[in-house]
A and B are shown apart, each in its own frame.
Chain A
Amino acid sequence: MSRLSKQLKSYGQQFASVVRNEYRAIFTDDGALLILVFALIIYATVYSLAYGSQVLRNVPIGVVDECRTPTSRSLIDTFDAGPNTYVAYEPTDMAEAERMFYDRDIYGIVYIPDDYEKRLYGGEQAVVAIYCDASYFLMYRQVFQELVTSIGATGAMVEFQRLIAKGANIPQAQATTQPVIYQSHNLFNPYLGYGTFVMPAVILLIIQQTLLIGIGMIGGTWREHGLYHRLCPAGRRRMSTLPIVVGRSLVYASIYAVTCTYILGLHYRLFHYPMKGDTGVLLLFMAVYLAACITLSIAVSTLFRKRENSLLLLLWTSIPLLMLSGVSFPREGIPDWLFSLGQIVPSSHGVNGFIRIQSMGASLSEVFDEIKALCILTVVYGGLACIGTHQVISRELNQRTGAN
């Protein structure tokens, strides 16, 4: 019994000294401070500003109108009426339209042939050619959707009038024109805002990457200058790694608790991102996510020998890891083995679960799989962090005794 309490007391002392040492290391190092504290806030703000307008509207298009009749005019007016496109130019021929297109004055072309009105009145099918630029995904989508909707609506109107002229009554004509009313609703992000879509993932990824680089920078500095031994209380030869890893983790968790509260509380409100999540679920989820990220970072940080190495080696991984989380690039488009490999990184589970909690309002049981995965990662990386820490400290102590 006394042995246990002695062990606990020694753990407590060691824990306190580790915490003090860690805070000092972070707050006296402006490089680490910049990455661990400010990077999250700066990046979240800059990205949110870039995506601030959220949606693409009023894409300029050109219409080549060979018909030049009131009928073709009214079709052109429908392109202007929608929110996504406006008719910026009416080039006289396709060659001119093409030139404007290459000059990026317009991003889509509609060609109305000269027999448009004649065919329409003659009860035949009129053909309108649309040319959409597919070199920008969002541009293509907005232009194509708008043009197809406008042409469809015009066609339905003509059909309706023809049926009425033939003596059909209004409900019959409606049912023939449009037997099935199709409506598509976008859930959780009704206007398909780009920021609302991408920012939750980006924020979670920045949390992980700044931890990886920041803790890696501290670990690299300690190894470069032989400071790891400071983690052992003075005068002790033997030390336990568990209080070191736990103590260090709690220090980082406390810092990110503050910055994440700012991001999820204030920043989210400023930019009107969805906040459907239940506070308790969100807190628990963020806690396990941070735990997984921090233990991973501590484990990785024991590998760096120089201060700058973490940044040099890890900066580029941000974009690949964002891809592997299946957000920017559809998960179904990623080769399965690569996607499975991505599951060893906390962000893959974190991004997924977080979006479902915050944007969709998922409950605890609905993100249970992600929480379970993050817990497993925490245990695995925590173990690796202990092994790594033990290795670097004992190597350093050996070198010091060897030098003496």
Chain B
Amino acid sequence: MSPGTDGSTASTVRRLIAVSPPPWGRLAGALGLGVAASAATIGLLAGSGALVDKAATRPGLGAIAGLLAVVEVIAFARAPLRYAERLSAHDAGFRALAGWRVWLFDRLEPLSPAPLRTWRSGDVARRAVADVDALSDLYLRALGPLVLAIVVSALAVCVVGVLVPGTALVLGLALVVALVGAPAIAWSARQTDAERSAAGSLHADVVDLVQGAPELIAFGRASVQLDRIEGATRRLADSSRRRARANGAVTALVAACMGGAVTGVLVLAIDALRGHRLEPIMLAVLPLTALGSFEVVPPLAAAASGLAEVVTAGRRLLALDDLPRPVSDPADPQAPPTGAPEVRMQDATLRYGPGLPVALDGVSLALPPGSATALVGPSGAGKSSVLNALLRFWPLESGRAMADGVALDAMAQADARSLFAPVDQDAQLFAGTIRENVAFARPDASDADIDEAVRRAQLDEWVAGLPSGLDTPIGERGALLSGGQRQRVALARALLAHRPVLLLDEPGAGLDAEMAAALLDDVLGAAGERTVLVISHRREEIERFARVVEIDAGRVVGRRWGAAEPSASPPP
């Protein structure tokens, strides 16, 4: 499934603008500066033409002083105007981008973590963030140059039209042909989806060659893979040749229009001069204005291909908007139970999408208050789906999940989640200090509470040894910490949340057996009155639990209560 490949270009652009309106005032300011800079380019050429025309009549310095001053001012002002335009256009573009970033965050929020499962491989979050970056070109490269070209062209047509009315028709016609033709040619040669995916598969083939070199050599397939890559390279070269041809056609079209316009305007100007309808010093102004006005056309070809890129990224993002939200708050939410509830799942069936296999197939399990349960099974068995169902990230297709008899989906989402404190597999922490991350669920927690959570997660000795203690920054995603430290910070965060049920998803993943065992001991020791559910796959870990539920292919295939003895093979 490749989401979001429909929707016309215009409607995609309209929707992108609608979901996050850009700073119109700043865009207008940038446009104004751009018009001024382009006018300066044309004015410098035409003005100095007029200057020498007039000087050639040897009228005396006083007569050309005014024109001279204008030309010099324009010569000085043009570059700063262009500089200011580029900066303010980028500023406006980045402001619009900030709006889209927040929009994306809000769109992904109700879908997380689910869309990761229903889409093809690859990290949806990473791709979506990159797609938003691509949107900055909408104003900078696509719409901005387009509006600028139209305004500057209209101005140039007005200027020549005021001097010799007939020239407006000639220049106007030539500019319209160029303004429509150039982007149309570029658009027709834009990168197709097939070419885009060819580029993607070339990259995949190269990665395969690098990573799979041993297999390719051992199974005698190296030259086949090289040929395959060469074929893909050749196909891509064909498509870039097509685009180069289109670029050339644009250059030629613009030149033809420009040549026609300059010559035509000059012919009409000479006639007007002979009929005394034109001041002699304006003779140079007309063809030079026509020549200069074509400056705004070539960026339109880039604008067309830029727009194509923006629309592709935009469609993928808007497809996120069209995905149904898996979970919503009930109209009349019930209050969550207070104290330590009994959490129970009954015949729970869960499916991540129509046509996809069931992830949970009639799972029943009970978590009495204060109990500790291990949930075991091979990967893909549905262990994480149990957590997704309890945390109400994904709805049950049938069956029920309850806390003290109150269905979780009858509560507001926030209330249902407030019963559970998760410690996820790769301990998702956020850039900031240790203190901020521990106090994440309760930012108003007292220092004493924070110290207590840190102590119970067995972090206190380590923290005491740090020069900045709790105020030590941990880097993005906790990159400055070791795997074990990350897990313990996540544990402290879950403990401080003061929620009745701890949910731990493979807390020892990525740690060696000894560290994982120590961590698990600390979890069980720190849990206190809390109910604990631990997902695990290590035999030596499971043996600590009096209650073990084993699932496979979404079904409960084994249970063990009481005696903490290694179980024999699970019942089929």
A binds B: no
Where the two chains meet, the residues of B that have a C-beta atom closer than 8 Å to any C-beta of A are none
